[in-house]
Amino acid sequence: MRRFNLAVLAALTLSAGAIAVPAHAHAGQRPLGIENCTATACHFDVPPGTYDVRVLLGGETGSSTSVSGETRRALLPETSVPAGKRAARSFTVNVRTPEGEPTGAEGTPGLDLALGGSAPALAGIRVTPARHARQIFLVGDSTVCDQPADPYTGWGQQLPQYLSQGLSVANYADSGESTVTYLGNPQLWATVQPQIHRGDLVLIQLAHNDKTTDEVTYRANLETLVAGVRDKGGSPVLVTPIVRRWFNTDGTLNNGTALLVNGLGVNHPEVIRSVAAAEDVPLIDLTAKTKAVVESLGVEGSKALYLYNEKRDNTHTSVHGATVYASLVRDELLAQHLVPKGLVRAH
């Protein structure tokens, strides 16, 4: 972790009554700071792009602070700091329009951050354009996307909190999309592909909505996405879909609905595994990993991972479930050496 510029921070003192004012970040200008924050939120009037954010947490009393941003993205996990102490943390955030789902509302221009946690305390902040950040693009459906409204939460919405400065998430997952619609909608693949640069990762999890896609078409669509990433110099990563919470009477998950076999008999996880092997693409077998978690928790314990208690929904995840599943993705990114260890947070 780089040392935070304490001399700069000393001049940036947060008062509870501070008023957020517009500010602009351009090359050559001084970094944007805490004058753009209130006690609970910050707004920076910056154009779309990727930005490094450094925060100094802590206050006169003990504090515990988390940071979220844009459309409910978890950017920094809750961090406790003893009374009178300070803790510096850094992360990189992607600012885009629309700021959440690609086919959704545009959201608020600029970068918006919200302070959470049991006792939030922000002592300083600095926002600068990111110069050498790598991007993780997410191509997926509603189980991955930046969900606009609580309690719905995609695992891609929780992934950024596990990454530190130099690696950001550009979540282009969108509710209701299949491999067919993702490729066909100009707001989706045609928008994502031109942004991919050499060194970027593109995680692809599409299956939940391919309910009427035959196996030949499904396989061909995955191959098209893989080739499209490689054409831009990026690195594709195929991700099998998270399981649905549908149990058999013996406490195991249903081989059809839960494990993503569609009405035509297409076993989506198996096709994804096959394409990954044939195309020599890294595979994150999230189906297998989420199956193990759900079955280990059992019928009752696994309800907290999904929106069963709130919506009787066994497909979409709660904040807790999305966070658990994002941690599984984080673990695989590290285990397969897809991202440098120094850019990933342990907790």
As to burial, measured by CB atoms within 10 angstroms (0-12 exposed, 13-18 middle, 19+ buried), residue 295 is middle
Q: What pLDDT is attached to residue 346?
A: 73
Q: What pLDDT is attached to residue 18?
A: 31
Q: What is the per-residue pLDDT across 188-245, written as a single tens digit (0 to 9) for each?
A: 999 999 999 999 999 999 999 999 999 999 999 999 999 999 999 999 999 999 999 9
Task: Give the Cα separation of 299 and 75 in Å (integer).
Answer: 31
Q: What is the per-residue pLDDT across 6-21, written as a single tens digit (0 to 9) for each?
A: 333 333 333 333 323 3
Same domain, 169 and 152: yes
Which pTM does this prediction carry? 0.91
Same domain, 288 and 333: yes
The angle that helices 268-279 and 215-231 make with each other, rounded to 10 degrees, is: 40
1 located within any domain: no
Q: What pLDDT is attached to residue 81?
A: 98
Q: Is the bond preceding 151 in cis, omega lying within 30 degrees of 0?
A: yes
Closest CA to 324 of 253, 242, 235: 242
Kindly report the CATH number assigned to the domain that includes residue 292: 3.40.50.1110
Q: Give the chain's largest Cα–Cα span.
A: 64
Q: What pLDDT is attached to residue 17?
A: 30
Q: What pLDDT is attached to residue 115?
A: 97
* Structural domain count, the chain: 2
Q: What is the CA radius of gyration of the chain?
A: 21
Query: Is the per-residue pLDDT at 25 higher than 50?
Result: no
Task: Give the Cα separation of 223 and 266 in Å (integer).
Answer: 16
Same domain, 279 and 181: yes
Question: For 129, how many CA atoms within 13 A lie in the half-sphere containing its CB?
Answer: 13
For all residues of the chain together, what is the average pLDDT? 91
Closest CA to 83 of 57, 103, 108, 109: 57
40 located within any domain: yes
Quick check: 173 and 141 in contact, CB under 8 A? yes
Task: Identify the domain boundary among 112, 129, 146.
Answer: 129
Task: Identify the domain boundary among 113, 129, 145.
Answer: 129
Share of the chain above pLDDT 70, in %: 91
For residue 103, give its domain range.
6-129
| Residue at 307: amino acid letter | L
Query: Is the per-residue pLDDT at 172 higher than 50?
Result: yes
User: DSSP for 119-187?
Assistant: E--EEEEEEEE-SS-EEEEEEE-TTTS--SSTT---HHHHGGGGB-TTEEEEE---TT--HHHHHH-TT
Q: What is the per-residue pLDDT across 143-155, written as a single tens digit (0 to 9) for each?
A: 999 999 999 999 9
Residues linked to residue 74 through DSSP beta bridges, in sequence order: 68
